[in-house]
Every structure is written in C-alpha cells, then in structure tokens.
C-alpha cells in the first residue's frame, strides 16, 4: 500500500508557503505522493452538490504543484482531479508538461468530468456532453504530448501543424488517473487510464466501485497493464481499515485532513508516518 496526501492546494495549504512546508513534512513521513483538488469557482451560496463553502481557497493545481516541486525531491505530484471539460486542452497540456519537466518527471495526471453545473455555467462551458468533451480533450492532450507531428480532429477540439515543447519527461506520458463513480467513468478509466481514483469512500463503497470497474475490465487494452486503484478514504483510517482496502485491491490511499492550521496538519502527518507508514514499510 502506498499513501498520498490530498489537499496540498486547499484551505490552509492555499496560504503562502504552507503547501511547500506540508509537502516536505509528507515526504519526510514517507508519503509517496501529494495531491491537489480543483474547483475554479464555487457556487455562492453553497448548495448541494457543492462540496465546500464558496470562500474555501483553492490554488490552481499547476501553480501549487510547481511550488511543491521546487521544495521536494522524491514525492510524486498528483492532480486529484482536474475538471477536464472546463479546460482548454492545449493550454492544460502545456501547464502539465511544464510541471512534469520542472519536477523531473514526478507528475500524476488525475482528471474527471465534473458535476457542478453552476461552475460550468460560470465558465461558459456547456454542461451537456461533458463526458464526450473530456474524452476528446484527453485524446488531444496525448497527441500533443507524444506525437512527432501532433494533430487531432474532433467535435470539440481540432488542430494540426503545431508543436508544443517541451513534452513531458515521463514516456510515453505521465500516468493518467480517471476519477468518478459512474459506469461511464469506470469505462473511461478501463479504456483510457493507467488508474482510477475514488473520493470519500469507505471500504464498502470502494468495493462497489471496484465491482463496477471489474464489469468494464473485459474491454481494457492489454498495453495499459494493470489498472492502479487510488482512494481517498472516508472515516477513520487505522491499520484494520487499511487492510480492508488492501484486501479489495486498492493500491494507494490518499487521506484528506482539512485541519485549520499548518501546525495541526504537520502533527497529523508525522503521527501517521510513525503509526502507519513506518509499521507497513
């Protein structure tokens, strides 16, 4: 089992150099990765299904991970997740390739299709067909990252006769992690992803999601290899719970501890390193 830390760009970590300090603490405690979340805007006033209040600060994922990259040496840098249909795919490809380059090849690209219609409306992006748009945008990103003469022709994005350098350090490209807990998300992860990411799940919920992934797995291209499973757990995370996740086939747990101060979060990270990571290593 590997361990990541969610929220390196959210809340207390969105203040100044705190993200760098927390990432250093996570690296020292034995965490394998740190992860951003994303909402470009949030509905005000908050209304379901918006996950947090409208004044919750979110640093841009690429900015936060670039900061973290400059202050760490080993920890991997994950986006968990970027809302792909809200982004210009070539601009996003440039931003993420830049993170991979400046970090020496430590980026993990987590993407999803989003679920807050108010956010799409504010950005002027149609909420309809967001899954199809995300599929095309992912294809466009992979083309600009990997092809000698990149080109893509689709309903939502088309380009040819251009280059975008540097390409990512990792070859053929950084790992692609697909988020979401619906049958289309499972199929997208199986067909296009190196991994799948489930958020705020207990072991029972995770088991149901993994059943959905298994149902789609017969379509997985052999070249993609094993599908890596990452989960941000809901509820207490003790050794017994970790074993339950491991028995299900989860490869990485990414806890989220929204503490109100840097000191409290650093203390929690250190305790988890001593009480869990050290015992399992």
Residue 12 phi, psi (nearest 5):
-60, -30
The residue-averaged pLDDT of 163-177 equals: 98
Model confidence pLDDT, tens digit, residues 208-233: 999 999 999 888 999 999 999 999 99
What CA–CA distance (Å, rounded) separates 3 from 32?
6
What CA–CA distance (Å, rounded) separates 178 from 230?
10
What CA–CA distance (Å, rounded) separates 132 from 254?
28
Per-residue pLDDT, 281: 86
| Tokens, residue 216 | 């789609």
The residue-averaged pLDDT of 105-134 equals: 98
> Is the predicted pLDDT of residue 29 greater than 90, yes or no?
yes
Q: pTM for the complete prediction?
A: 0.97
Per-residue pLDDT, 34: 99
Per-residue pLDDT, 137: 98
What CA–CA distance (Å, rounded) separates 175 from 142?
11
Model confidence pLDDT, tens digit, residues 181-212: 999 999 999 999 999 999 999 999 999 999 99
List helix spans (H) across the chain: 18-29, 61-71, 89-102, 117-123, 130-146, 183-192, 203-216, 239-248, 262-272, 278-280
Sequence-distant (6+) residues with CB within 8 A of 142 are: 173
List helix spans (H) across 89-202: 89-102, 117-123, 130-146, 183-192
User: Taking Cα atoms as reference points, which of 160, 122, 145, 126 lies closest to residue 40?
Assistant: 122
CATH number at residue 245: 3.20.20.30
Tokens 């650093």 identify what position? 266
* Longest Cα–Cα distance in the chain: 55
Cα 157 from chain centre: 23
User: pLDDT-based confidence at 16, cuts 50/70/90?
Assistant: confident
What CA–CA distance (Å, rounded) separates 31 from 253?
10
Contact 251, 197 (CB under 8 A): no
- What is the total count of domains within the chain? 1
**Range with the poorest average pLDDT among 12-16, 69-73, 252-256:** 12-16
User: Taking Cα atoms as reference points, which of 227, 222, 217 lies closest to residue 251?
Assistant: 227
What CA–CA distance (Å, rounded) separates 67 from 109?
17
Residue-number span of the structural domain to which 63 is assigned: 2-280
Pairing type for strands 152-153 and 158-159 reads: antiparallel
């Amino acid at each position: 089992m590997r361990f990541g830390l969610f929220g390196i760009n959210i809340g207390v970590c969105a203040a100044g150099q705190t993200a760098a300090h927390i990432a250093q603490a996570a690296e020292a405690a034995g965490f394998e990765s740190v992860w951003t979340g994303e909402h470009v805007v949030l509905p005000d006033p908050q209304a379901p299904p918006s996950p947090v209040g409208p004044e919750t600060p979110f640093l841009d994922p690429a900015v936060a991970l670039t900061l973290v990259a400059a202050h760490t040496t080993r920890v991997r840098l994950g986006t968990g997740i970027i809302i792909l249909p809200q982004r210009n795919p070539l601009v996003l490809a440039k931003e993420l390739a830049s993170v991979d380059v400046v970090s020496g090849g430590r980026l993990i690209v987590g993407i999803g299709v989003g679920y807050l219609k108010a956010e799409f409306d504010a950005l002027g992006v149609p909420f309809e067909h967001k899954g199809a748009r995300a599929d095309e945008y992912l294809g466009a990103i992979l083309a600009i990252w990997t092809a000698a003469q990149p080109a893509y022709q689709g309903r939502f994005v088309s380009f040819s006769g251009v280059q975008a350098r540097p390409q990512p350090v990792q070859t053929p490209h950084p790992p692609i992690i697909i988020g979401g807990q619906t049958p289309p998300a499972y199929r997208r992860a199986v067909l296009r992803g190196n991994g799948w990411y489930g958020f705020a799940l207990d072991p029972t919920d995770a088991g149901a999601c993994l059943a959905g992934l298994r149902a789609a797995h017969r379509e997985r291209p052999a070249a993609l290899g094993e599908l890596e499973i990452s989960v941000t757990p809901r509820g207490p995370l003790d050794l017994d719970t970790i074993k339950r996740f491991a028995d299900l086939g989860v490869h990485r747990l990414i806890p989220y501890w929204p503490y109100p101060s840097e000191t409290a979060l650093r203390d929690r990270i250190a305790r988890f390193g001593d009480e869990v990571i050290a015992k399992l290593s």
